[in-house]
Amino acid sequence: MPGSCCFWLQGGGADATVTFWRGFGIATGLTGEHVSNYAPGMDVNKFACLAGPRYTYTAWAGHSGTADRPRAQLFGQGLFGGVHAFNGVFPISSGTTPTANSFALQAGSGIDLLLTKHIGVRLVEADYVRTALPNSAANIQDDLRLAFGVTYRVGPFHSRR
């Protein structure tokens, strides 16, 4: 994105995780983001599809009668994939183009508070996101991604470790 620094993209996303063994698993994420007028008359939209390893630590309630039900999960992950940007202005050797594609990397962590066996709240997720979309400078974007929301769980809870 030509000559721009420091703007907030807003959007939404969906994540899915499968835990295989002692908190280790695979996570996937789909996100869509938008910013209006980040430079005079310029907007941009991004869609990212990422996947990679995740480690989840489940903290247990420990109160009498509820020791079998976890209350919070802390996770850390490293996701890799691609990003497609559109409805923007991206410089290329022959001028500009309204679309661009790039490799994407996302690394971060978060906390989920489990309200019932299936429903929870993502209190916070903070991620570093790096993309390499054309921007008339270094062609690198280093982003801070903050997320929160509702979680839905499928399947039983397993042992703490």
Are the C-beta atoms of residues 132 and 83 closer than 8 Å to each other? no
pLDDT digits (tens, 9 = 90+) for 37-65: 777 777 889 999 999 999 999 886 555 55
Whole-model pTM: value is 0.83
Does 93 fall in a domain?
yes
Rounded to whole angstroms, the Cα distance separating 116 from 70 reads 9
Mean per-residue pLDDT, 135-154: 89
Does 159 fall in a domain?
no
* Per-residue confidence (pLDDT) for residue 36, from 0 to 100: 84
Mean per-residue pLDDT, 59-80: 75
Q: What percent of the chain has pLDDT over 90?
A: 52
Does 157 fall in a domain?
no
- The answer on pLDDT for 1 being more than 50 is no
Question: At 32, which CATH number?
Answer: 2.40.160.20
